[in-house]
Structure 1
Amino acid sequence: MRIFWSVAAAWLCVSVIAAAQEPTSPALVGYRNHEDFSAAVKKLDDSDLAEVVSLGKSAGGRDVWLITIGKDKDKKPALAVVGNVQGSHLSGGELALRMAEQLIVNADKDEVKKLLEQVTLYIIPRPDPDGSEKCFARPFRVPAGNDRKTDDDRDFAFGEDPPNDLNGDGFITQMRIEDPAGTLMPHPDDPRVLITADPKKNERGKYRILSEGIDDDHDEQWNEDAGDGVAFDRNFTFNYKPFTPNTGPNAVSEPECRAVADFFFDHPHIAAVFTFSLDDNLFHTWKPNSQTEKERIKKNILGSDATAADFIAETYRKIHGGSDAPSPPDGHGQFSRWSYFHFGRWSLNARSWWVPKSEAKKEEAKDDDKDEAKKDDPKKEEKKSSGEKRGSEQINLLNWLAANKIDGFVAWKEIKHPDFPNQKVEVGGFKPLVDLNPPAAELDKLAEKHVTFLQKLPDFLPKLELREFSAEALGGGVYRVKVTVANSGYLPTMPEMGSVNGIPYPLQVELQVPKDTVFVQGSPRSEINRLAGVTGKSERTWLIRLPGDGKLPEGFEFKVRAWAPAVGEAVAK
């Protein structure tokens, strides 16, 4: 027995040492896996101001959390905040959660009180919990979708050609292969970066690039089928692309997508959706196209909506303070576009962070070294930048990593590759996610900026007013009742796209009268499809005849009520 326990203890020590030596990803320092993230979410349920529930389970069985902040939640308009719709964009989920935490901590402050008096907040911090959790799995790589096993190359085999960690460093990076037919060449300022050679400049390519791995299924393609699941941000109905990797068998096929979509449709008082997404339309606003506005299927933001969205985006940019935001990548089936085109709400989307512009760090030489250098070569000058624009983002990323002392690049190192026995193959490149998420130390300050923006949003929402209300007795129990329904808020009562797709509830206008009153002109309830912002108004006139002797019941007052779930209500009497 003693021998057994000695062996067990030795094995445990070896295991602990091995675990301690396992590589960690610099991109994940300070970020939380699903277990820790869920614990932080559930802790918010201790507050009287918040309620935490699960909207459902992901394909991998993980909870999709909803945080509701505010009281009388169904009696006023709501704002939805959605975290990282792309699993690898971990900062979006962290920011959404930290925003909730900051709002609860600062609940006694006037700005927060005003916000919660005007709106209810629905926060879904990690709508894609499977994709987020994959970021923490070894070897570290950039994941694409949820835990569903998929046939990404459509050859009736599932996940048979995933990437491989060939150099054993714990990261899936890239392979550069020397090839006379290659189209890539080293950057003149930094050979770690490859750029496309331009034959017009008499440039010749030397390399081609593949992701790190071998051709497991021997189809002369590399890592094309990781069985990488269905991506939340590729599975929604607008511009959905079937038969492409990570989109799913059909739109909204995934349980996490259905859970979020069902929640939105079940809560018509949601007025606007703020999403942390690479489909950034606050620094890169969506552009209308007057040539296509009359087409049946709308693919561009409508002109009247674009004007309002641009104004709100300007407010965001001032609060954020950033510049040179990268352009959004091309996409399809995106949640952000669905929110506007198919859910019919204002869709505001922020990348929130990107690698800032960074200059190469200059090494300060000692005075003795400078003197020696001058003796060796008096004409020697410091190396200057070539001015090459190609690869500038990668050069900037290298500079930023160096300035912040982040070990985010794997130096190119030659390996023996079974698929390229007669060619030089090197493995290296940027470590996964270092360019997508900020250092965790920056998250709280970023969250504060987004809370400030969130507090501004109710100022833009429509505000109903009932003006010039009158009830004129015409004799014989006949009355003429008039009212003007006006919108004094900046935004219209719904986006024009909402009017087109018919999803948001229109305004209802109702006149309350004694029982058995006859409506000679007008009806007890009518609709106003949409009121423009600031100057929008609509007049309503009723001609009614009271029952019996034509006298109003004692203490009765005519009352007009106008309301819509995403707008609120106004009453006049």
Structure 2
Amino acid sequence: MMRIMPLLSRGLAVWLALVTMAVAQESAEPDAKPVNPALDGYLQFEPFSAAVNKLAESELVTVKSLGKSAGGRDIWLITIARGEVKPLTNKPALAIVGNVQGSHLIGGELALRLAQQIVAKADDEGVKQLLERVTLHIIPRPEPDGSERCFASPYRVPAGNDRKTDDDRDFAFGEDPPNDLNGDGYITQMRIEDPDGTLMLHPDDPRVLITADPKKNERGRYKLLSEGIDDDHDEQWNEDAGDGVALDRNFTFGYKPFQPNTGPNAVSEPECRAIADFLFDQVNVAAVFTFSTDDNLFHPWKANAQTEKDRIRKNILGSDATAIDYLAEAYRKTHGGSDAPTPPDVQGAFSSWAYFHYGRWSLNARAWWVPKTSPKKEEVKEEDKDGEKKEEKKHSGEKRGSEQINLLNWLKANDMDGFVEWKEIKHPDFPRQKVEVGGFKPLVDVNPPAKELEALAEKHLAFLQKLPESLPNLELRAATAESLGGGVYRVKATAANAGYLSTMPEMGSVNGIPYPLQLEIEIPKETVFLKGHARTEIKRLAGLTGTAEETWLLRFPDKAPSEVKLRLWAPAVGEVTKTIQLKD
């Protein structure tokens, strides 16, 4: 009984505090759901799906669902092509994948707008050439559950799909989610005064916290937590929101089990399986372009010569890195941005899987980030007693917290209400400490104002129109036939790649996933091969300089044909043919 009483007392205190919060929230709650400025102009699932299906009105477009998400939402595929679409064809394809992170809504919007702009500009020469060269497979919103949860109240940054998960692995599912303690419709943060805290106020803006540096004789006085209470009384806060499985942590390369949002095993989720199955079936995909915070166009992946020969490659291979650097430079020129943030270190990411395990060129674009913004100068309205204007406050030069200061500057410059001012609350878990709720509203630093989306889509379309110029370009050179007498002929030809990119990434040669080049010779069935074969595999050809010579010795029992035909091809590369005349 003595052990039970403290628990009852704590439970009663928590209950009373929550009742007080609920009353405060009810009295302060607005008549309508607040509008998150980060979502204004972005489409929820139903209107997004309607926009996708409207594209099917074009004769260039087919739309289908690859499958259903954990929450039962369609995973849409938009295919744009001229002519019949078959994987085993002589035309390569590009796969364009939208927001693989649910909260990165810009990715899905840009993928959709790319499709819309291509259809609208179908008669433009640039679009015509693009579709003559490649087929486009666009998966605009591969994480439909996570995207839709961005619009749910209270607003917060979702992690994964609609699967209920046990994020802290205590055999209870979603028992400690974040809580909207101040009733404003947003999940922000709590800053708690604590003598053991490691954070201090930024000298230029007390809304921002930075890590105190003891070497500078600085002492922390705050700790920072996400907004909520310790629902399961384990002295952890909001550690189990039951937040689903994240698509971008569920792929096979670098997959980390037993971590929040990674799933029970790699490719456990219907979204991952649907996308992976589709791409493996599309053997003519030459490259995958993904909208992702795992950016490798402003921050190209780096090769490591020390690990090139490891059994399991974990770094991009040297020759592939050179090619990605070249494409990244072209992208940066087209995009025009600068100071892109460093990508997060994500394990189980789709973009890494596309290169390491799918064996394709993998290009990943963040597309947008908060631009560098100078503080907005305020007009000085107050004057001191002598009638002189007050001096503007000088900046300290402090670099810590610069991203948050820049975000505040950008929000102010764009008149966006993206910050909840810190306000003290009574918190049941910290009855003797000052607790304030506030901070940046969810997603304001991830997605741009919707008015910028169309122009951003135009930039990415311009890049995609140039991308086929770098794809492999097959040639058959020095094709000759020489009669040796007795019905025997020596046939020679050189397979060459005149394009910038190799016929597959070096990683594709390592993992053996992409179909290799094949050189076929078409001759009468009764022909005897003294040397060579009717179909020969050609190893990966490097860009611009890659060549491979092939020789056949053929004996024709009867009269020799007037010609033989050579065909060099691979689904993800294309084909070239050559006819050789046979002369006595």
CA distance in 2, matches of 1:500, 1:529: 12
Q: Paired residue for 2:34, among 19, 23, 26?
A: 23
SS at match of 1:542: strand
Corresponding position: 1:103 with 2:118:
yes
CA distance in 1, matches of 2:129, 2:274: 30
Q: CA deviation at 1:515?
A: 1.6
Partner of 1:53: 64
Give matches, 1:408-427, under 5 Å.
408-427=418-437
CA deviations on 1:228-268 (whole Å, 9 max, x unpaired) are: 00000000000000000000000000001000000000001
Q: CA deviation at 1:374?
A: 7.5
CA distance in 1, matches of 2:387, 2:264: 68
CA distance in 1, matches of 2:237, 2:378: 40
CA RMSD of aligned residues (A): 1.1
CA distance in 1, matches of 2:308, 2:277: 29
Question: What is the TM-score with the length of structure 1 in the denominator?
Answer: 0.94
Corresponding position: 1:319 with 2:334:
yes
CA distance in 2, matches of 1:469, 1:247: 54
Corresponding position: 1:70 with 2:76:
no
Corresponding position: 1:340 with 2:355:
yes
SS at match of 2:550: strand
Amino acid corresponding to residue 434 of structure 1 in structure 2 = V
Amino acid corresponding to residue 391 of structure 1 in structure 2 = G
Corresponding position: 1:523 with 2:538:
no
SS at match of 1:558: strand
Q: Paired residue for 1:205, among 191, 212, 220?
A: 220
Partner of 1:449: 459
Give matches, 1:469-548, under 5 Å.
469-548=479-558
SS at match of 1:214: coil
Q: CA deviation at 1:194?
A: 0.2
Partner of 2:233: 218
Q: CA deviation at 1:23?
A: 1.0
Partner of 1:39: 50
Question: What is the TM-score with the length of structure 2 in the denominator?
Answer: 0.92
Give matches, 1:273-352, under 5 Å.
273-352=288-367
Answer with 19-28 or 107-116: which moved more: 19-28
CA distance in 2, matches of 1:31, 1:515: 61
CA distance in 1, matches of 2:212, 2:515: 55
Partner of 1:572: 578
The runs of 5 or more residues in structure 2 that have no matched partner are: 1-28, 580-584
Amino acid corresponding to residue 68 of structure 2 in structure 1 = K
Partner of 1:159: 174
CA distance in 2, matches of 1:486, 1:375: 83
CA distance in 1, matches of 2:52, 2:79: 11
Amino acid corresponding to residue 572 of structure 1 in structure 2 = K
Amino acid corresponding to residue 246 of structure 2 in structure 1 = A
Q: CA deviation at 1:365?
A: 2.8
CA distance in 1, matches of 2:69, 2:32: 32
Q: CA deviation at 1:353?
A: 0.2
Answer with 493-502 or 465-474: which moved more: 465-474
Contact 1:471–1:558 (Cα < 8 Å) also in 2: no
Corresponding position: 1:398 with 2:408:
yes
Amino acid corresponding to residue 52 of structure 1 in structure 2 = V
CA distance in 2, matches of 1:19, 1:78: 50
Amino acid corresponding to residue 161 of structure 1 in structure 2 = D
CA distance in 2, matches of 1:182, 1:377: 41
SS at match of 2:345: coil
CA distance in 1, matches of 2:117, 2:230: 48
**Number of residues paired by the alignment?**
547
SS at match of 2:386: helix
CA distance in 2, matches of 1:515, 1:241: 54
Amino acid corresponding to residue 404 of structure 1 in structure 2 = N
Corresponding position: 1:563 with 2:559:
no
CA distance in 2, matches of 1:413, 1:293: 54
Partner of 2:17: none
Partner of 2:287: 272
Q: CA deviation at 1:73?
A: 2.6
Contact 1:215–1:221 (Cα < 8 Å) also in 2: yes
Amino acid corresponding to residue 55 of structure 1 in structure 2 = L
Q: CA deviation at 1:342?
A: 0.4
CA distance in 1, matches of 2:549, 2:247: 44
Partner of 1:552: 560
CA distance in 2, matches of 1:22, 1:519: 77
Partner of 1:434: 444
Q: CA deviation at 1:376?
A: 5.6
Q: CA deviation at 1:382?
A: 1.6
Amino acid corresponding to residue 502 of structure 2 in structure 1 = P
Contact 1:79–1:272 (Cα < 8 Å) also in 2: yes
Q: CA deviation at 1:330?
A: 1.1
Q: CA deviation at 1:381?
A: 2.6
Partner of 1:253: 268
Amino acid corresponding to residue 414 of structure 1 in structure 2 = E
State the identity %: 75
Q: CA deviation at 1:552?
A: 2.1
CA distance in 1, matches of 2:58, 2:161: 31
CA distance in 2, matches of 1:73, 1:449: 27
Contact 1:186–1:193 (Cα < 8 Å) also in 2: yes
Q: CA deviation at 1:373?
A: 3.3
Amino acid corresponding to residue 388 of structure 1 in structure 2 = E
CA deviations on 1:282-316 (whole Å, 9 max, x unpaired) are: 00000000011111110110000011110010000
SS at match of 1:364: coil
Q: CA deviation at 1:20?
A: 5.4
Amino acid corresponding to residue 562 of structure 1 in structure 2 = L
CA distance in 2, matches of 1:224, 1:204: 27
Contact 1:561–1:570 (Cα < 8 Å) also in 2: yes
Partner of 2:107: 92
CA distance in 2, matches of 1:375, 1:467: 88
The runs of 5 or more residues in structure 1 that have no matched partner are: 1-17
Corresponding position: 1:132 with 2:147:
yes
Amino acid corresponding to residue 475 of structure 1 in structure 2 = G
CA distance in 2, matches of 1:50, 1:19: 44
Q: CA deviation at 1:19?
A: 8.3
Q: CA deviation at 1:470?
A: 1.2
SS at match of 1:21: coil
CA distance in 2, matches of 1:344, 1:131: 27
SS at match of 1:401: helix
Partner of 2:468: 458
